[in-house]
Amino acid sequence: MEDTVVSPLSPPVHVLPAPRSFEVSEAGFTLLRTTPLLFQAGTEDSAAILAQKLRDGLGWPSSAERLPVVGNRAGAPVAGALTLLLDPGQDLGPEGYTLDSTPEGIVLRAATRLGALHAVRTLLQLLPPRVMDPEGALWGPADDEVLAVVPGAHIEDAPRWSHRGVMIDVARSFLPVDDLLRVVEAVSLLKINVLHLHLVDDQGWRLEITNEGRAEDDTHDYTQLTEVSGRTAVALPAWNGRPGRTGWYTQEDYRRILAFCHSRGMEVIPEIDLPGHVGAALHALPGLCTPGSSHTSTPEEPTAPADCGIVVGYSYLDPHAPATRAFLRHVLTQVMDLDPEGRRVHLGGDEPWAMADRYGAGPGSAYAELLTWACEVVREHGRVPIGWNEAWSAQPAQSLPSAQPAQSAVGTPGDAAASMQLQVWDVRGEESAEGQRLAAERGARFIMSPSRHAYLDMIWDAQAPLGLDWAGVLDLSAARDWDPVGSVEAVGESSIEGVEATVWSETARGVEDVETLLLPRLLGTAEVGWCQALPEDGSERALTLDGFAHRCAAYGARMRAAGTRFVLVPGVPWR
Ligand code: TNX
C-alpha cells in the first residue's frame, strides 16, 4: 500500500470515520474480474452501490455473466468470493458491521441493511481511490485480470451516536434535485445518516403544497406558496455578485429525494420553520398576515413584501389568528403524508424576535402555546417533533411552568412519548441554558450542532471567499475536536441523539458552494458522530487528531476521484 504507518491509531489503510477496531494483516484478498459478489437478500442497495462503483471505477465487466451479483441463501461465506451476510444475531447494534479481508475472500457481516451499507462504504476505502471515479475504468489497466489487491484486515465497527446529520438550507438559495442528490451521495459515504432539509424561510418556500385535503373553511390557496415564493431567494450582491437561486421541489421531486435517501439508508427530516422565519409564507398567502407579522405589515395593509435580505427575526405567524393554525395543520399534514415512513418533523422555533414574548415559557406565552400545539399535530401522526434550542418551552402542557415553583413544574424524566428533540445551536445564552436544563429533566433528547463546531456555513479561515462569521472562524480542527457530551451543561450522554452539521445558504450559491462549505470540515463532524469519545486524560488526543489529518488526506484522494469539491485547507498532508 502507498500509505505509511503514522501512529498505532492510524493503520496503513486510512478509513474515515475511523472504525472502532481495525486490525491489519499481512495478506489480503486479490479481487479478480471473475470474483463473484454474493449478497444476501435484503442488502440489494449495498450490492447495487458496490457493483456500480466496481464497474465504473475499476472496470469490472458489465455483463452479469462476468459479474455475478447473486443471492446467497446459504448464509455462509464462500471461498474466493466477496460475500455480504445478514446476521441478525450480530451484537454490534443496528448500524454495526464486521469486515474481513483474507486471501480466502472478503466477508462483510451486518445485522441490518444499514450495517451492510456501512460495510460497503468501508470496503470502498480499502480499494484504490479510482474506484470512486465514475470514469476510473477508462484510465485503469484494460485487460488486467486483477482489479485490486484489498489489504488484509479485520474490522469491527459501530457508531457512537444514532443521529449523524447534515442540514442543507435550500430556502435561502435553492438546490435542484440532482445537485441535492449529489451532496447526499457524497455525505452518505461518510456514514452520515440524516438529511435535514430547511425547506422554508423568509426568502423562499421550496416544497410544493397542494390544496388537496384542505379543510372546508380554509381559503388559503396553497399552490401560491411555491408559485410566488418559489420564485424568490436571498439577494445579496455582496457574495460573488450572485443572487440566490430560485426554484422548488414538486411533490414528485420530493418523493425522488426520499427514495434516493432511503436507498442510502438516510432519514429525511423536513423542517417547516415556525412561528418565525415565515416571510415567504406571509408574502405568498397574505391571508396569514396580521399587523406586525412582517416589518411592513400595518393594520391598514397587513401584507408582506418579498423578504430577500439576511436580517432575521422580523416575521412571525400570529399565534392568535385562526388562519395560522389552519395553515400549519394543512402544511404539516401534507408534508408528513408525503413520507409515510418518516419518523421526525422539524418545527424550527428559532429567532421569533418580533413576537411580543420572544420565546417565553410562562403561562400565556403565545410562542410556547403555538409550538406546543404544532408538536401535538406532529405527534398525532406518530412522529417526533424537533425544534431549535429556543423551542425548549414547547413542552407538553402538563409540564409547562405554572404559578407553582419551578421545581414542581418539572415533568417526569424520560417521558419520551410527550417530549421532543431539541437541536442545540446557540450554547451562549443563560436563558437558553436554563431552558435546556429544564427540557433535559423533562425527557427531551438533544441533537448537537454547536455553532462554533458544527455551523459549516461559517468561514474556514479569514480569507475564505464564502461563509458568514458571526460564530467566528470554524476550521477543520474545530470541526473535529469537540465532544457532544459537555457542550451543554446538564445534558448528559444518555440525553443525546447525536450531531448535525448545518449549511445555511446566505452565501452559498449552488452545489459547488455547498460542497466547498461542507468539505473537508464535514469529515470532522462525521468522526465526532461516529467515533468513540477521546479518553478524558488526553492521552490519545494528539495521536488521534494527527491520525485524522492523515485520514483526511487519504479521503481527499477519493473525493478528488469522485469529482467532489473540497478545500485544500492547511494542516492536512494532501496528496
Ligand atoms: C442562525 S441557527 C439561524 C439561521 C441563519 C444562521 C446563519 C438558526 C436556528 N437560525 O436562520 O441562517 O444563523 O448562520
Domain boundary among 157, 177, 211: 157
C-alpha–C-alpha distance, residues 91 and 559, integer Å: 32
pLDDT in tens, 404-453: 333 323 333 344 456 799 999 976 665 567 777 878 888 889 999 999 99
C-alpha–C-alpha distance, residues 84 and 116, integer Å: 7
Nearest CA to ligand 1 atom 9: 350
**Residue 250 DSSP one-character state:** -
pLDDT higher than threshold 70 for residue 49: yes
Sort strands 146-157 and 21-32 into parallel, antiparallel or unpaired. Answer: antiparallel
pLDDT in tens, 161-182: 999 999 999 999 999 999 999 9
Q: Tell me how far the alpha carbon of residue 274 lies from the centroid of ligand 1, in angstroms.
A: 13
Average pLDDT of span 174-196: 98
How high is the pLDDT of residue 260? 98
C-alpha–C-alpha distance, residues 401 and 417, integer Å: 19
Q: What is the ipTM for the molecules in this complex?
A: 0.97
Average pLDDT of span 235-254: 85
Atom of ligand 1 nearest to the CA of 423: 9
Q: Tell me how far the alpha carbon of residue 401 lies from the centroid of ligand 1, in angstroms.
A: 28
Atom of ligand 1 nearest to the CA of 351: 10
Whether the CB of 350 sits within 6 Å of ligand 1 = yes
CB 345 within 8 A of CB 377: no
pLDDT band for 5, please (50, 70, 90 cuts): very low
Atom of ligand 1 nearest to the CA of 426: 2
Whether the CB of 504 sits within 6 Å of ligand 1 = yes
- Catalytically annotated residues: 351
Best residue for ligand 1 mutational test, from 168, 274, 312 (most atoms within 8 Å of Cβ): 312
pLDDT higher than threshold 50 for residue 48: yes
Q: Tell me how far the alpha carbon of residue 569 lies from the centroid of ligand 1, in angstroms.
A: 25
How high is the pLDDT of residue 549? 94
How high is the pLDDT of residue 421? 94
Nearest CA to ligand 1 atom 10: 350
Residue 183: strand, helix, or coil: helix
Does residue 561 belong to any structural domain of this protein? no
Nearest CA to ligand 1 atom 11: 312
Nearest to 67, CA basis, from 116, 107, 32, 119: 32
DSSP string, 220-241: --TTHHHHHHTT-----TTTTT
Does residue 571 belong to any structural domain of this protein? no
| Judgement on whether residues 141 and 196 belong to the same structural domain of the protein | no
pLDDT band for 292, please (50, 70, 90 cuts): confident
Q: Tell me how far the alpha carbon of residue 78 lies from the centroid of ligand 1, in angstroms.
A: 52
Q: Tell me how far the alpha carbon of residue 303 lies from the centroid of ligand 1, in angstroms.
A: 24
| Judgement on whether residues 131 and 208 belong to the same structural domain of the protein | no
| Judgement on whether residues 67 and 183 belong to the same structural domain of the protein | no
Nearest CA to ligand 1 atom 2: 425
Best residue for ligand 1 mutational test, from 350, 460, 469 (most atoms within 8 Å of Cβ): 350
Does residue 221 belong to any structural domain of this protein? yes
Take residue 372 and report the three cell numbers written for it.
406546543
Burial class (CB within 10 angstroms; exposed 0-12, middle 13-18, buried 19+) of 557:
middle
Does residue 550 belong to any structural domain of this protein? no
How high is the pLDDT of residue 390? 86
C-alpha–C-alpha distance, residues 167 and 550, integer Å: 26
C-alpha–C-alpha distance, residues 467 and 474, integer Å: 10
Q: Tell me how far the alpha carbon of residue 455 lies from the centroid of ligand 1, in angstroms.
A: 9
Take residue 497 and report the three cell numbers written for it.
441523539
Q: How far is CA 177 from the centre of its chain?
A: 16
Question: Position of cell 405567524?
Answer: 317
Atom of ligand 1 nearest to the CA of 388: 9
Highest mean pLDDT among 313-327, 360-374, 448-462: 448-462
Residue 132 sits at the vertex; the CA angle it makes with 565 and 265, to the nearest 5 degrees, is 90
Domain boundary among 519, 534, 549: 534
Percent of the chain at pLDDT exceeding 70: 87
C-alpha–C-alpha distance, residues 198 and 350, integer Å: 12
Whether the CB of 425 sits within 6 Å of ligand 1 = yes
Does residue 574 belong to any structural domain of this protein? no
Q: Which domain holds residue 151?
A: 21-157
Q: How far is CA 20 from the centre of its chain?
A: 22
C-alpha–C-alpha distance, residues 103 and 196, integer Å: 42
Does residue 267 belong to any structural domain of this protein? yes
| Judgement on whether residues 275 and 383 belong to the same structural domain of the protein | yes
Here the CATH number for the domain that contains residue 118 is 3.30.379.10
Whether the CB of 354 sits within 6 Å of ligand 1 = no
Domain boundary among 131, 157, 183: 157
How high is the pLDDT of residue 73? 67
pLDDT in tens, 558-574: 999 999 999 999 999 99
Does residue 547 belong to any structural domain of this protein? no
- Chain-wide mean pLDDT for the chain? 87
CB 325 within 8 A of CB 365: no
Here the CATH number for the domain that contains residue 230 is 3.20.20.80
| Judgement on whether residues 141 and 194 belong to the same structural domain of the protein | no
Take residue 284 and report the three cell numbers written for it.
405568498
| Judgement on whether residues 418 and 483 belong to the same structural domain of the protein | yes
C-alpha–C-alpha distance, residues 332 and 391, integer Å: 17
> Which run of H or E residues covers position 108?
strand 105-110
Whether the CB of 314 sits within 6 Å of ligand 1 = no
Whether the CB of 388 sits within 6 Å of ligand 1 = yes
| Judgement on whether residues 172 and 273 belong to the same structural domain of the protein | yes
| Judgement on whether residues 152 and 181 belong to the same structural domain of the protein | no
C-alpha–C-alpha distance, residues 35 and 19, integer Å: 26
C-alpha–C-alpha distance, residues 56 and 181, integer Å: 18
| Judgement on whether residues 226 and 368 belong to the same structural domain of the protein | yes
| Judgement on whether residues 112 and 252 belong to the same structural domain of the protein | no
Average pLDDT of span 280-309: 82
Does residue 562 belong to any structural domain of this protein? no
Percent of the chain at pLDDT exceeding 90: 65
Nearest to 346, CA basis, from 294, 410, 282, 390: 390
Question: Position of cell 452539521?
Answer: 501
Whether the CB of 271 sits within 6 Å of ligand 1 = no
Average pLDDT of span 483-491: 86
Q: How many domains, in total, are found in the chain?
A: 2
| Judgement on whether residues 248 and 345 belong to the same structural domain of the protein | yes
Whether the CB of 339 sits within 6 Å of ligand 1 = no
236 contacts: CB under 8 Å, gap ≥ 6: 243, 244, 309, 310, 506, 507
| Judgement on whether residues 295 and 245 belong to the same structural domain of the protein | yes
How high is the pLDDT of residue 361? 61
Whether the CB of 457 sits within 6 Å of ligand 1 = yes
